Chain A
Amino acid sequence: MPEIESLSDISRLISDIQHKKFTRSYDIALRTEELLQELISKGHWKSAKELMNLVKTRIQLVRENLPQEATAPNIMRHILKVIREEYQSASKKKDEGQSLHELVTSTPSNVLDYSDSLINLRSSILDHLTEYKVELESSSDNIAAQALEHIHTNEIILTVGKSNTVEKFLKRAAKDRIFNVIVVEGAPLYAGHTMAASLAKSNIQTTVIADSAVFAMMSRVNKVIIGTHTVLANGGLRAASGIHAVALAAKHYSVPVMVLSHMYKFCPIYVGSHNHEAFNVCASPANVIPYAFGPILDKIEVNNPVYDYVPPELVTLFISHQGGNSPSYVYRLLSELYHQDDYDI
């Protein structure tokens, strides 16, 4: 069956993510984009509708297999929007819901079905995708370029664990400003150690603290700058576990919390709490308590969650390559990124 044949590309991506071949979200994003570019240029589709269906089956496949994975579906969702836009401009038909008046009155009159086959569609979509790829590649540089707008001299900045975006951001700022960074080590993975060693190499005064010292240190911190796994539709975060407590401590001391995020991390999903089934995963307890701990291991339960839910009220600012936005504006960013109809795939 050609159907299964054609899905082999996405299956490989899924297996790569499952086997941790890609750990950085940036790698996943690029890979997904390349995958779709290939699908569009070489895939068997005649109309925009068919292409969209191909993409949608892929999104569904990823979501079934990797419920926590947000980057790949987000990239594909954005490309769906690209397809829609290109179709509209090629067919010279307008979709509903663009003007404010139409938003308020909301009378769906002319629903597009995207079934016309257009000659230039393939090339125009591919052109658009090349642009999008450049945007992806320059995203972290664009975020880092804003560093000087947010970090002043002699600041004390706290960050948790390791994030490539944050690392780049701080190093960029260190070129022109002198400031201190406190790195929380982030047990049980201790990614903070790598982060701290790397920052110190770039001549940034770095202090490493254990997770337990966050509240004590927070009273002297000027800003908390963190990365995140996903930005949820309500402006909340799915971030590495432990960040909720950090954000709470920051709130207690009225320290602003800045979240650096690529656009592809913005996800149109609402998740209410920590214990939402699709929200969290638990990693192996071996990192928390070694198997060598002894016979007591039979009698205890060990939890090692990977993510934390951080409610939007604890976040001050999102910084993406487009600039800073507050959590309350996330819904609008989402509607710019994705088409309304693609939210629930």
Chain B
Amino acid sequence: MDKTKTSTDGSSKKEKKHHKKQSKDGQLEANLAENEVSHGCKKEIVNKTNNDATTGTVAQKLSEKELRRIEWEKKLESQKGITVTSNDQSVGQQPSEKELRRLEWEKKLQEQKAGDTGKETLSKAEIKAKRREQQEAQRQAKLAAENAKNAAENVKKVAATTPIKDPGKGLGKVEKKLDFPKKETKKTTDVHKVQLVQHLYAEMPQKKVSKLLVYNNIHPAFVKLGSQYLNKTILGSNARTLALMAALKHLIIDIQTPPKQELCRHLETVLQTCTNHLQNCRPFAVSMVNALRNFKLHLTQVDTNLKDSEKKAKLQDVIDVYIHDDIYKAGDAISLKVKEKISDGDVILIYGCSSLLKKILVDAHKEGKKFKVIVADSRPLLEGKEMLRRLVVAKIECTYIFLNAVSYVMNSVTKVLLGAHALLTNGYVMSRIGTAQVALVAKAYNKPVLVCCETYKFSERVQTDSFVYNEIGDPDLLSKIPNTEDPSPLSKWKENNKLTPLNLLYDVTPPDFVTAVVTEIAILPCTSVPVVLRINAIENT
């Protein structure tokens, strides 16, 4: 989501009161009733550029039941004599998106502090009363949004951005965001879901939902990262891990410890909500899980007697060391090892895009090795094009083919180099879909297959097929044919219940196709994964 705007509702005094209370108690409320977190309406991020579409989805989401409730609310509202108007004048005066998020974040921290001090004094009855108040406010907010939507239909540029003015305090602007209950009343239909991988659809991020995600307690860096993962602008295990680490550093810099709490404990809970958000955007890569685990381990080991600033410095140091040692230095070591294996006149087949492979090949080329590279690529991601571009810029002689031509070129190939998403304990290599097929053809022609993989991508998971754990990409990517203007016969697949494009993201390559795995430790057979994991575990404790 690139352009976001705050959205609020009417400007009646009473309603504002509700809102203020509600935001004050937001944290408390969330603690008290976790199930109702989604009701803790605070903000709604509306894609401004896509305003009409968004309101459309909003309307879709309002089930009949909700509509009835809204009607009832309207009645209630009229009894109270509240008029809800939408203010559309100050659209242009909004601070930039980033500032907004920062402000929001800081405000929340302050509220949290206030909330924490007042926590003990609240009796049960008071809490109940507050919750009731809040629910009321929430209903009104929803109604307001509904009205705003109606207004938006009339005035096209309403843009659902209507900041409240607070005459009581004269604060000018208070950012209030509103959201709708996230409990989707979506019927799970089996239409357009491939039977074999039913379970994977549950994890699939829903594009529609993403536009209305609740960004409660989530650091802006993570919000941004989430959308980057979702839109696949950050792709590849290494890139994703590095981006996660960078966001984590931002979080550490910005975090403020609430009174009576310890920084690391607080960070842990905040981090949890942030990572949950990321998980909703796209399931974690194995490398990210491992990197996070390492960070959390260090988080528990930080000396509690240190000052906050010292702790922060220490934690940042942990991240820097991890990036430097486990990712960059490991890459250097692997590059050195593979270089020994590349000789003049080699024809190296690679598949897709891998930052590590690019580094290896460019390093070897700089060394003066004379070799040719064949880049195999496949739809729907066509990552190989990016790889091709990078290699050609480095002046490496390249051939580009689609996956179907692998058999055609395999005779002339001398080595196959592959990247990996993860190495599983049973020796299987989890990688971009298509990798297994390249390895299979290489095996049929008796060509050596080297998988290059840092040890931080080793996983304790075991898997023998590509269905149990996998990710499903956007099926629409398959129904479009690149480079042509004529629509594919598949373009209307949604209209035919019998037709389903399936876009899996990963596959697993059996160890018998892999000659060796090149890691920073050594060149190993696939079956040595558990050994490396065991040794690493011993070293870390």
Contact = CB atoms under 8 A, between A and B. Distances in A.
Contacts of B388: 296, 300
Interface string A210-227: 111111110110000000
Contact of B499 (A196, A215, A274, A290): A196
Interface string A275-310: 100001000001111101100100111111100110
A220 B507 CA distance: 14
B499 A187 contact: no
A310 to B, nearest CB: 9
B465 interface: yes
Contact of A210 (B379, B401, B466, B496): B379
B405 interface: yes
A273 interface: yes
Contacts of A304: 401-402, 405
17 contacts: A193-B481, A193-B490, A197-B493, A197-B496, A200-B493, A204-B498, A208-B490, A212-B379, A215-B437, A240-B404, A248-B440, A248-B441, A249-B440, A286-B483, A293-B385, A300-B392, A309-B407
Contacts of B398: 299-301
A244 interface: yes
Given A211-B402, A244-B407, A288-B401, A219 B440 contact: no
Contact of B378 (A187, A219, A300): A187
B440 A245 contact: yes
Interface of B: 194-196, 378-380, 385, 388-389, 392, 398-409, 411, 432-434, 436-437, 440-441, 444, 465-467, 470, 478-479, 481-483, 488-490, 493, 496, 498-504, 507-508
Interface string A187-209: 11010011011101101111111
A216 B444 CA distance: 17
A244 B69 CA distance: 61
SS class, residues of chain B in contact with chain A: mixed
Contacts of A196: 489-490, 499
A312 to B, nearest CB: 14
A159 interface: no
A230 to B, nearest CB: 16
A180 interface: yes
Given A185-B478, A187-B403, A275-B411, A216 B504 contact: yes
A1 B156 CA distance: 80
Contacts of B504: 209, 213, 216
A58 to B, nearest CB: 31
Nearest to A204: B498
Interface in A57-76: none
A32 interface: no
B408 A308 contact: yes
A168 to B, nearest CB: 18
Nearest to B464: A219
A242 B434 CA distance: 12
A43 B510 CA distance: 62
A200 B379 contact: no
A309 B444 CA distance: 13
B433 A303 contact: no
Given A212-B433, A248-B440, A296-B388, A301 B488 contact: no
